[in-house]
Chain A
Amino acid sequence: MKTYDAIVVGAGHNGLTNAAFLAKAGLNVLCVEKNDYIGGAAVSRNLHKDWIYSNCSYVCSLLRPEIFRALELHRHGLQVTPYGGSVTFMQNGDYFGSYWDSEVSYREKARFSKRDADAYIRYSTDTMRQCRFIRDFLLRTPPDPTSFKPADIRELLLLGRKFMEMGEDRMYETIRFWTMSVAEYLGEYFETDVIKTALSGSGIIGTALGVHSPGTAYVLLHHYMGDVDGNVGTWGYARGGMGGVSKSIAGAFQAYGGELRTDAGVDKIVVKNGKVKGVALTTGEEIDARVVVSNMDVKRTFLQCMDESDLDPEFYRRVRNFKSRGSSGKLNIALNGLPTFPALPKGSSLMHSDMHFIDSMERMERAYDDWKAGTWSKDPYVDMLIPTLVDPTMAPPGKHFMSCFIQYCPPQINGRRWTDAERDAFGKTVIDQIANYSPDFKSLIEHVEIRTPQDIEDQIGITEGNIFHGELTMDQLLFNRPVPGYAQYRSPVGGLYMCGSSTHPGGGVMAAPGANAAREILFDLKRHNTVPENFGDD
Chain B
Amino acid sequence: MTEQYDAIVIGAGHNGLVCAALLGKAGRKVLVLEANEQVGGAAVTRRFADDYSVPACAHLLYQLQPQVKKDLGLNIALASDDMETVALSTDGQHVRYSSDRVHGVSDADAASYRDFHRRMSRFANLLQTYLNKPPPRLGTKDRKDLVTLARLGLDLRMLGRKEMREFLRLIGMNIHDEVTERFENKLLKGALSLDAVLGTHLGPRSPNTIMTYLYRLAGNGGRLAAPAGGMGAVSEALAQAARSNGVTIRTGMPVQRVIVDNGRVTGVETQNGENFASFTVVSNADPKTTILNLVGARHVETGFARRISNIRMQGNAAKLHLALDGLPVVQGLEKRDFGARLLIAPDEHYVERAFNPAKYGETSPEPVLEISIPSFRDSTLAPTGKHVLSAIVQYAPYRLKKGWDKAAREAFKETTLRKITEFMPDIDGRITAVEMLTPVDIEQEFHMGGGHWHHGEFTLDQFMFVRPVSGAAQYAMPLDGLFLCGAGTHPGGGVSGAAGRNAARALLAREKTA
Residues of A within 8 A of B (CB): 145-146, 164, 166-169, 171-173, 175-177, 179-180, 184, 187-188, 209-210, 212-215, 321, 323, 362, 365-366, 369, 372, 473-475, 479-480, 484-485
B452-482 interface code vs A (CB 8 A; 1 in, 0 out): 0000000111100110001100000000000
Chain A residue contacts of B170, Cβ below 8 A = 475
Q: How far is the CA of A366 from the CA of B356 in the complex (A)?
A: 8
Chain A residue contacts of B460, Cβ below 8 A = 175, 179-180, 214
Q: Are A365 and B459 in contact (CB under 8 A)?
A: no
Given contacts A180-B459, A184-B461, contact A213 B471 (CB under 8 A): no
Contact among B137, B166, B206, B359 with A484 in the assembled complex (CB-CB below 8 Å): B166
- Per the 8 Å Cβ criterion, residues 173-211 of B in contact with A are 173, 177, 181, 202, 205-208
A contact face: mostly helix, strand, loop, or mixed: helix
- For residue A180, give the distance in angstroms from its CB to the closest CB of chain B: 4
Q: Are B138 and A171 in contact (CB under 8 A)?
A: yes
- For residue B90, give the distance in angstroms from its CB to the closest CB of chain A: 22
Given contacts A214-B208, A214-B460, contact A473 B173 (CB under 8 A): yes
Q: Which residue of B lies closest to A474 (CB)?
A: B172
Contact among B139, B169, B312 with A168 in the assembled complex (CB-CB below 8 Å): B139
Q: Are A213 and B137 in contact (CB under 8 A)?
A: no
- For residue B17, give the distance in angstroms from its CB to the closest CB of chain A: 30
Q: Are A475 and B165 in contact (CB under 8 A)?
A: no
Chain B residue contacts of A184, Cβ below 8 A = 312, 461
Pairs of residues from A and B, 3 with the lowest C-beta to C-beta distance, nearest first: A474-B172, A172-B470, A484-B165
Chain B residue contacts of A213, Cβ below 8 A = 205-207
Instruction: Count A-B contacts at CB 8 Å.
Output: 100
Q: Which residue of A lies closest to B165 (CB)?
A: A484
Interface size on B, as a range, is 35 or more
Is B302 on the interface with A (CB-CB < 8 A)? no
Is B335 on the interface with A (CB-CB < 8 A)? no
B contact face: mostly helix, strand, loop, or mixed: helix
Residues of B within 8 A of A (CB): 137-140, 156-157, 161, 164-166, 168-173, 177, 181, 202, 205-208, 310, 312, 352, 356, 359-360, 459-462, 465-466, 470-471
Q: How far is the CA of A175 from the CA of B161 in the complex (A)?
A: 24
Q: Are B140 and A168 in contact (CB under 8 A)?
A: yes
* Apart from A168-B471, A176-B470, A212-B206: 11 A-B pairs, beta carbons within 8 A: A171-B465, A172-B465, A175-B460, A175-B466, A176-B461, A179-B208, A366-B360, A372-B356, A473-B207, A475-B172, A475-B173
Q: Are B157 and A146 in contact (CB under 8 A)?
A: yes
Q: Are B466 and A474 in contact (CB under 8 A)?
A: no
Chain A residue contacts of B173, Cβ below 8 A = 473-475
Contact among B140, B166, B207 with A214 in the assembled complex (CB-CB below 8 Å): B207
- For residue B288, give the distance in angstroms from its CB to the closest CB of chain A: 14
Q: Are A215 and B172 in contact (CB under 8 A)?
A: yes
Given contacts A213-B207, A484-B165, contact A179 B172 (CB under 8 A): yes
Q: Are A484 and B169 in contact (CB under 8 A)?
A: yes
Q: Are B165 and A323 in contact (CB under 8 A)?
A: no
Given contacts A173-B470, A321-B181, contact A167 B139 (CB under 8 A): yes
Q: How far is the CA of A187 from the CA of B309 in the complex (A)?
A: 11
Q: How far is the CA of A164 from the CA of B205 in the complex (A)?
A: 32
Q: How far is the CA of A168 from the CA of B466 in the complex (A)?
A: 11
Q: Are B138 and A372 in contact (CB under 8 A)?
A: no
Q: How far is the CA of A467 from the CA of B370 in the complex (A)?
A: 40
Q: Are A145 and B205 in contact (CB under 8 A)?
A: no
